[in-house]
Structure 1
């Protein structure tokens, strides 16, 4: 509960021991004045304690922090996560009883030396502090520390302290191996209580593989996630053999569940990686190990569910060792012997397989992966198609690879999503996986320059009529979508040959809820008929030849039949449009954006519904609008109005702008505008006002500015 009410505490201050408060965007000294009376405060926490990834959006004045830390000597818990704090004052060292310090998602660059005096500190959370560059050596004094959370500290360069002295550490999210006097892997040896996730980076700096071995990772049974990372530059070094010895020495404990190996520069992987004794490995990623020539033996890992092989530039073939059979000599993915084909023992639990950026990899995919749910193949042009039995497959993604792979999967009835990209020879979808899947709900096709339609002549594609989401992007020859009676979301982008949309989408019974059309320069009109009444979002962008908008976009009468439910309408970059269809915008419309439609008629009283639901109106580059329509003041729900480059706009309605809920008003590059209405400036709801590049304005309203403005830009 937030115990700060406005700028005052809601109970007797001297009795407070635990205080939580919600951040404001700008927290200044006045809000915290009463804290000087709370001599025995033990907990001070900004809520929420867990901030989103875009954190550090709130500001705390430096004098607040300085005064607070110098007075609150009894604090045990201090949470300042999410504040844009660049540094802590030295007075932090006075908090001798502090047990918990949370600076996550702040802009802290380094901790002061006085932090070494926090001898009772048990938890130090610096998660998401992307500007943190180093940690002071005095951290080694914090012998009671249990948690050191450094996840998401992407600019942290080294950890120049003896982390091995922190014998009570249970959570250490990151260890950076430094050069020379920096931290070493062997510092982990005495940290017997480590658990959870550990990321070790800078492994190229390990001078002697015995240092890695002395870290005793294999005895850290509490660790369940491990990242082992070399630098990208180390791939060009001549120390391939040394990196192989280091990785051999970093065998994880028996309870390891997730393992990632990044930028490893050795030619071979260690034998322990595929050892069946690693019975708990469920997630394995081999990322950008570009010097490796063979994949490790993984087929016998009994619990492996997710496998990603990415950026293996030099791998050309997959030998039998990949399946865990212990000898080499075959040059393709598929199991070579009849016994292996029938056993079903390889990858018994594998649910997700990703093979990406392996340009030299030849051969065929595994023939039987009975548990596979998701298959992703990207940038593997030499992989060959083969008959694959994947009865559990739900999601298939094939990009910049052999298009025959699409047709090689033997009709899994469970397939619900297919994504294809960069298959230039693909003309239409009529064979294999797409034709045989009656469960398909999502279909996305992009950068397939040969694609002309989704169906061949005479092929009605009965088995994919259940599609609900369809996206066609950057297919220059594509001209016909076909009819999908269950379609709810349709996106067409950069389809140069598309001249019209199918008449089926204008049927009242069509369930289409979202329609996005972008960069289709040949599209001239919609088919006759009305838009589906269930359509909620319509976005038309950069269709230069479009001369008319679809019927049903506007409401012609007040009848309850065929009432539109449109909520979002965006029309951008359609210079051939001249007018809207007859009628008013639907009363359900909440967002209206009209940008760069130079010839389109301006908004008028006949278009806007009285007491409508509009919350946002944005007009950009409309050269015909001289005045806003008078009935615009009937839009009581309007919270934001943007007028940009409306060069003919001269004045506002005589009644001014009387929106009771308007919070933001932007007026920019309206060169003919000569005055602002006095009535508008009495609006107490207005918080953000921007006026720029309006040379015709000679004075501001005599009545002054709105009283509750938070930001004014002129």
Structure 2
């Protein structure tokens, strides 16, 4: 960079665009002297002289001005620079980049969690990690998660904690609202506020409205625009654009200024960063209110009685009651809790309706609502109603008196069968979404009167004329995508003509669908005339025709009709004998043909009139389920085709098109008669062939990624390549060979053997049941130096006679990082001499005859040359030891061993394994002891020992680790005691001890005082519960005690950690009769209580359960007869009672009807 440019300059522009000031700054950078002139012309002349003929780099930082005239003036001196000069502009406003850019703007994405962590620790400690402060690691990682990839946040939080080492101070920052941090100590607040103040007034109002969305809530553009419309935030002047179009401009403006961000996995979904969400709440003030009630969090702002807009997430009766006083409310949106199956008290929000007469927006999406009350019709001001994803079965007629209703969303209401008969009264309805409401039998009569409709997602054609397809005729403003189903109910072609689809220029997408289960005897000859009359407008971009029963397609389906069409799908049109002439559609990118059972040949008719200039834009071509298709005669080219899929075409013969210059991926499966010539595919192509007759090679072709998948017989494969030019495979990077059952070696000295593949990166072999070795023994020595040496990953599965891996690939390879071997029963060991020097991850699974991982006395595996970090061994029943030397690789971080019944030893000691973080040992029934030093490992985070029946004890340690967070011991029948030093494991947060009947006592010193979770199950502990010292565990939030407490008749006998305990489970207490009122009264933070299999328990404490309780589960308490007279806490959100035959509900119980 330094040597590439002759001159370099940087200027901070900001919101005040001053061409003179910016020019002065640049001039000073390139001359290293100040300039006092204030004449812009004189300054630009001087700058031109300095830049003339020079290659320069100028950075203009933080530009807000979108005025093209100002930019034209500023850029004038730059035009004299030498080729290769660059101007880099940074901005938070995409409008700036659109105005200036000659190239596409580069949008910065959020940082990865690791990158954010590095920034945070460098500002907190001056280092890149937590090595010097391991006790702060957990809190620090949670703070970084709050940053959500925002580097400014990571920097601000890190600077705020600079050189602070008290965990309490870190916890305070973790729980602090960003707006509570002083502005002088945080760069976040001024930056966000500056962006907000820069918004015009109408966008400020729209942004503030977004404060009703919970954090991490995902929304779509149209959803938000329709909410803004309902609240009157979009008010076009007479003669201006439609409200929807104006709303889209508002949305895109906020998106361009980074108030919204696109989802990483779906470009149509948006969300707000947590700090932007906080900003929205701050500027919205008291008239916006959001109630969130999640397990473990109940902090709420005080409700302002004059609040206008609100949302609610989760919560029970008590939470909904809080809204009954907000009589001026205009917005009420009830959000489901994430991963919630629905609300347990669906009647709660409905009871509010009579009190909220001013509502304009009502959303109950996802709630368990089966019907609406008639009083819904009293909400005269309602403009937006969302009942999507509910089990609603019908709608009251009173809903048709909502004359101001603009938007009705009934998407994914699977039980809704019909709409009200007077639906035509909703004369102001603009958007009706009934997508995926599959039980809807027909449309209500006379929807043609709803002339304001812009969105009609689905028209279900009824059998009567009033609900027929012709009702679409007067709906001239339809936009977006329209699905018309049950077209078999159209009798007269003139009804289809009266739908006037050709006049609906706003439609982008159209689905025309007949039912797929029609009687075979039904006369379908009229369907051609009907489809002919359903001619859509020329602006259409996407068209799907499904289950059409005509013998041919209408003439309108050709290139001249649809210059903008990008997607076409023709599915299950089983009587059509030929495809339509669509090769001349100029914009078509995605073509899918499926289930065309009567098509035998594809030829000239498919390509259109000019067969030699076809499919000019096609990128993806998909054929599937063409049961009678035999021949594909190619007349034209596919100049831009990138992906070709052909599946389940069992009679297809002949050749595939041979001019596919840009093809990137070919997938062929279930074409049993097809012999694929891979010479017809270009370079850089990925090929996947499965369940086909065979593969042949022709001329010399280089492949970047080649996958032979399930070639039927390798003998046929090899016979066809003998004598061919195999050098074309030398560029292969990814090679997968599956189920080639005759393959014995990959590399031999035979003609047609694979070349040495110097570029190979990934090798996958599966189901090659005669594969003995990758390299034939007689040529291994001579090929050793030429073997693939760049391989990064090897996966071998179900190669049951494989005896060894090639030495050259194992030991001469400087790139190999990952090896997975599964079900290779003939392997006795993984390696003889040493591990591959660069190997980082090794997985050995279901190798039933493997005796040892590394065979032979050596020390190389534990030397610094081995980079192995992850070792996973599962179901190797003959394995007795990992290494003959008794030592493990020194850089190992994670060790997992499962179901190795004969394993006797893991290692002698962990003396040199200081990098170990996780140890998981499960179902190793012959393991007698653990390596010494296991509790002294300085980086160990988790130890999990499970079902090791002969393991007696942990080794005694003098120096204990400071980092162990999780210790689990279960199913170790001969384990006699926990480590005596366990109380000194200061970082231990989670301890689980299960099914270890040999443990009769806990250590005298008790448990580590920082425990947060303790699970004790099926131990024969003879000590009384109060002697366990649980009350000293002031951080304990979760306690599970299951079985083994024979002596307990009342619980708890003594106080538990009252302030911290939120989750309590008691199971299988055979003699428990009562729950202690005193003990439970003290548990003021308890949120979840589970009581199971306490057969003698008769009652719940008379004083009731804690008022903080959110979830109560009672199972198999056969003698439990009643709840307290004063009922259950109103805070309760979930109640589950099972196999309690004597239990009756009484008193004030919010779940009486459920």
Higher helix share: 2
Which of 135, 141, 158 matches 2:441? Answer: 158
Counterpart contact for 2:704–2:734, Cα < 8 Å: no
Alpha-carbon contact 1:309-1:354 (below 8 Å) kept: no
Q: Which moved more, 1:250-259 or 1:587-596?
A: 587-596
**Does the aligned pair in 2 maintain the 1:189–1:214 contact within 8 Å?**
yes
Work out the CA distance in 2 between the residues paired with 1:140 and 1:624.
Answer: 77
* Equivalent pair of 2:953/2:979 in contact (CA under 8 Å): no
Q: TM-score, normalised by structure 1?
A: 0.77
Aligned 8 A contact 2:683 2:702 in 1: no
Instruction: Give the whole-Å Cα distance in 1 for the aligned partners of 2:451 and 2:959.
Output: 70
- The question of 1:349 aligning with 2:625 is answered no
Task: Report the equivalent of 1:40.
Answer: 328
Q: Conserved in 2, the CA contact under 8 Å of 1:628 and 1:653?
A: yes
Q: 1:332 to 1:558 in 2, by over 3 A?
A: same
Equivalent of 1:190 in 458, 474, 485: 474
Task: Give the alignment partner of residue 703 of structure 1, picking from 1049, 1054, 1058.
Answer: 1054
Instruction: Tell me the SS of whatever aligns to 2:838.
Output: coil
- SS in structure 2 of the partner of residue 584 of structure 1: coil
After superposition, the Cα gap between the structure-2 partners of 1:507 and 1:427, relative to the gap in structure 1 and judged at 3 Å, is: closer
Contact persistence 2:365–2:386 (CA under 8 A): yes
User: Does structure 2 retain, via aligned residues, the 8 Å contact 1:235–1:291?
Assistant: no
Unaligned runs of 5+ in 1: none
Once the two structures are TM-superposed, the CA of residue 60 in structure 1 deviates from its matched residue by: 5.9
2 CA distance for matches of 1:618 and 1:222?
62
SS in 1 for 2:602: coil
User: C-alpha displacement at 1:65, in angstroms?
Assistant: 0.8
Residue number in structure 1 paired with 2:508: 224
Query: CA offsets, 1:661-704, max 9 Å, x none?
Result: 635x6666x37566767444775666666555768675555236
Post-superposition shift, 1:475? 5.1
Question: Is the Cα–Cα contact under 8 Å of residues 559 and 583 in structure 2 kept in the other structure?
Answer: no
Q: What is the Cα deviation at residue 210 of structure 1?
A: 5.3
Gaps of 5+ in 2: 1-280, 282-288, 612-628, 707-732, 856-860, 896-906, 1062-1082, 1093-1154
**Correspondences of 1:266-345 after superposition (within 5 Å):** 273=557, 275=559, 277-287=561-571, 294-310=578-594, 317-324=601-608, 332-333=631-632, 335=634
CA contact (8 A) 1:497 1:522 kept: yes
Aligned residue runs from structure 1 range 296-445, under 5 A? 296-310=580-594, 317-324=601-608, 332-333=631-632, 335=634, 346-391=637-682, 393=684, 395-402=686-693, 404=695, 410-413=701-704
Equivalent pair of 2:816/2:836 in contact (CA under 8 Å): no
Contact kept in structure 2, 1:9 and 1:34, CA below 8 Å: no
For residues 689 and 61 of structure 1, do their structure 2 counterparts lie closer, same or farther at Cα, with a shift above 3 Å needed? farther
Return the structure number with greater relative CO, CA threshold 8 A, min gap 6: 1
**1 CA distance for matches of 2:376 and 2:753?**
63
Counterparts in 2 of 1:160 and 1:389: CA distance versus 1, 3 Å: same
Residue aligned with 1:364, SS = coil
3-state DSSP class of the match of 1:191? coil
Does the alignment pair 1:101 with 2:430?
no
**2-11 or 396-405, which deviates more:** 2-11
Query: How far did residue 75 of structure 1 move?
Result: 1.4
Shift of 1:120: 1.9
2:943 is equivalent to residue 610 of structure 1: no
How far the C-alpha of 1:74 sits from its partner, in A, is: 0.9
1:506 aligns to 2:826 (yes or no) = no
More displaced stretch, 703-712 vs 476-485? 476-485
Aligned residue number for residue 542 of structure 1: 875
- Deviation per CA, 1:15-43: give whole Å up to 9, x if none: 3122245x23xx12323444233221112
Partner SS state of residue 688, structure 2: strand
Q: For residues 236 and 570 of structure 1, what CA distance do their matches in structure 2 show?
A: 61
The secondary structure found in structure 2 opposite 1:66 is helix
Cα RMSD between the aligned structures? 4.9
Q: 1:68 to 1:252 in 2, by over 3 A?
A: same
- Determine the C-alpha separation between the residues in 2 that align with 1:629 and 1:181: 82
Distance in 1, matches of 2:487 and 2:995, equals: 55
Q: What is the deviation of 1:67?
A: 3.4
C-alpha distance after superposition, 1:56-108 (max 9, x if no partner): 44536345313322211111123334445454444333322122233444454
Q: Structure 2: how far apart are the matches of 1:642 and 1:501? A: 34
Post-superposition shift, 1:122?
Answer: 1.9
* Inter-partner Cα distance in structure 1 for 2:1030 and 2:759: 55
TM-score of the two chains, using structure 2 as the length reference: 0.51
Question: For residues 833 and 505 of structure 2, what CA distance do their matches in structure 1 show?
Answer: 60
How far apart, CA to CA, are the structure 2 residues paired with 1:709 and 1:152? 38
- 1:17 aligns to what? 308
Using the TM superposition, give the Cα deviation of residue 654 of structure 1 relative to its aligned residue in structure 2, in angstroms: 4.6
Residues 1-23 of structure 1: per-residue CA shift (max 9 Å, x gap) = 364487786356233122245x2
Does the CA-based 8 Å contact 1:408-1:433 persist in structure 2?
A: no
**Any idea what SS the aligned residue of 1:35 has?**
helix
Asked whether the equivalents of residues 406 and 429 of structure 2 are also in contact (C-alpha less than 8 Å), the reply is yes
Distance in 2 between residues matched to 1:258 and 1:418, nearest whole Å: 37
Query: Against the structure 1 CA distance between its residues 45 and 548, is the aligned structure 2 distance closer, same or farther, given a 3 Å change threshold?
Result: farther
**Offset at residue 566 of structure 1 (A):** 5.3
Which moved further from structure 2: 223-232 or 674-683? 674-683
* Deviation by residue 1:268-289 (Cα, 9 ceiling, x = unmatched): 5556556364333334445555
Q: Is the deviation greater in 213-222 or in 478-487?
A: 478-487
Change in Cα spacing, 1:594 to 1:168, as seen in structure 2 (3 Å) is farther
Q: Which moved more, 1:637-646 or 1:273-282?
A: 637-646
Identify if the C-alpha distance between structure 1 residues 193 and 19 changes in structure 2 by more than 3 Å, giving closer, same or farther.
Answer: same
Distance (Å, rounded) in 1 between the aligned partners of 2:579 and 2:502: 22
Change (3 A) 1:601 1:38: same
1:712 aligns with 2:1090: yes
Aligned residues of 2:565 and 2:585 also touching (Cα < 8 A)? yes
Give the corresponding residue for 2:1012.
662
Instruction: Specify the SS of the correspondent of 1:401.
Output: strand
How many Å separate the matches in 1 of 2:833 and 2:365?
Answer: 53
State the Cα deviation string for residues 352-392 of structure 1 (Å, max 9, x = none): 22222222222332222223233222322222211444446
Summarize the Cα distance change of 1:19–1:266 in structure 2 as closer, same or farther, 3 Å threshold: same
